[in-house]
Chain A
Amino acid sequence: MTNIPADYGLFLAALLFAVGFVGVLARRNIIFILLSIEIMLNAAGLAFIAAGSQWGQPDGQIMFIFILVTAAAEVSVGLALVLQLFHHIQTVDSDAANSMRG
C-alpha cells in the first residue's frame, strides 16, 4: 500500500542529487568526490523506485539493481585509481593531479 505520491519521492531524489552534485563541485578531496557520486547514484536509484512504485511495475526496482551494479563496479575501480594516485603524488587532492606525466 503506497499512499505516498511519487512526487515526494522524486523531490527527495532531486534534493539528494543536488546535495551530491554540490559535493562533487565543492570538494577537492577525491574520496569526497567519490562519496558524492555515490550519493548521486543513490538518488537516481531512489527516483527509479519512486516512479516504479507509482506505476506498480517491477521495472523501477530492476533499474535500481542495475544502478547498484554500476555503482559497485565504479567504486571498486575508482578507489583503486585513488590508491594509485595516492602512491604517485602522496595526496588525495584532485587539483594536485594535473601533470599527466605519470
Chain B
Amino acid sequence: MIAFFYISAAVALISSVLAISRANAVHALLYAIVSLLSVALVLFVLGAPFAAALEVIIYAGAIMVLFVFVVMMINSGPEATKQERLWINLRIWIGPSVLTAILTVELLYIMLLLPSHSVGHPDVGPKAVGVALLGPYVLGVELSSLLLMAGLVGAYHLGKHEEKRTGTS
C-alpha cells in the first residue's frame, strides 16, 4: 500500500521541481497542475478522499485556470501568436503527459483492481468533516466567507477601471 504513496510523492516532487524551474510560464503551469493532481492522489492514499476531490476541483481546476487566464492576458499581442505556434509542439507535452499517465495508472489500479476498502478508505469520512465544520468550526466558516468576499471585492476593484487610470497618468 505504501508503494502508492511513494509513487505519487515522487511524481509530486518531480513535477514541483520542474514547475519552478521552467523558463516558460505555460510549461510551468502544466507541471504545476500535475503537481497538484499528484498531491491530490497522496491525500487520497492518506485517507482523505474529500480533501482530494476539493484539491482537484479548486486547486487544479479553479486556481490554475486563473493562472492560465493571467498568463494569456499578459502574453496577448502579435508576437504571442508566434509564441503560441511554438507552444503547440508535441515535445513539450511529453513530460506532463508521462507524469499524468503514471498517476492515472495508479488511480485506475487502486480503483479497479484492489478491493474497495484497502486503499483510501477514510478513517474520517466527509460526514465527520461536515459535522465538525458546521459545529465547533462554524465561526471559521463565517470568517472564510468574509475572506472570500473581501477577495472578490478586491479582485474586482483591482481589475476594474484600467483605462481611466492609464488615461489620467
Q: Tell which of B56-64, B82-90, B94-102 binds the partner.
A: B56-64
Complex Cα gap A83–B2 (Å): 43
Q: Is the CB of A80 within 8 A of B59?
A: no
Nearest chain-A residue to B64 (Cβ)? Answer: A38
Q: Which residues from chain A sit less than 8 Å from chain B, CB to CB?
A: 1-4, 8-9, 12, 15-16, 19-20, 22-23, 26-27, 29, 31-32, 34-36, 38-39, 42, 45-46, 49-50, 52-53, 56-62, 64-66, 68-77, 79-84, 86-87, 92, 102
- Is B92 an interface residue, CB under 8 A from the partner? no
Closest chain-A Cβ to B46's Cβ sits at a distance in Å of 5
Tell me whether A57 and B124 are in contact (CB under 8 A).
yes
Judged by DSSP, the binding face of A is helix
Q: Is B67 an interface residue (CB 8 A)?
A: yes
Query: In the complex, which residue of chain A has the Cβ closest to the Cβ of B169?
Result: A102
B65 to chain A, nearest CB (A): 11
What are the 3 closest A-B residue pairs judged by CB atoms, nearest first?
A: A73-B151, A23-B20, A80-B158
Q: A2-B47, A62-B133 are in contact. Are A72 and B148 (CB under 8 A)?
A: yes
Find residues 101-143 in chain B having any chain A CB closer than 8 Å to their own CB.
117-119, 121, 123-124, 128-129, 131-133, 137, 140
CB A55 to nearest CB in B, in angstroms, measures 9
How many angstroms from the CA of A53 to the CA of B42 in the assembled complex?
12
Decide yes or no: A69 and B128 within 8 Å by CB, A46-B39, A79-B67, A83-B159 being known contacts. Answer: no
Q: How far is the CA of A70 from the CA of B58 in the complex (A)?
A: 12
Contact of A76 with B133 in the complex, beta carbons under 8 Å: no
Smallest CB-CB separation from B156: which chain A residue?
A80
In the complex, the answer to whether A31 meets B51 with C-beta atoms within 8 Å is no
Contact A82 B20 (CB under 8 A): no
A46 to B12, CA, bound (A): 12
Asked if A75 contacts B144 (CB within 8 A), the reply is no
Q: Are A62's CB and B132's CB within 8 A?
A: yes
Q: Which of A1, A22, A66 contacts B20 (CB 8 A)?
A: A22
| Cross-chain contact of B28 among A1, A8, A35 (Cβ < 8 A) | A35
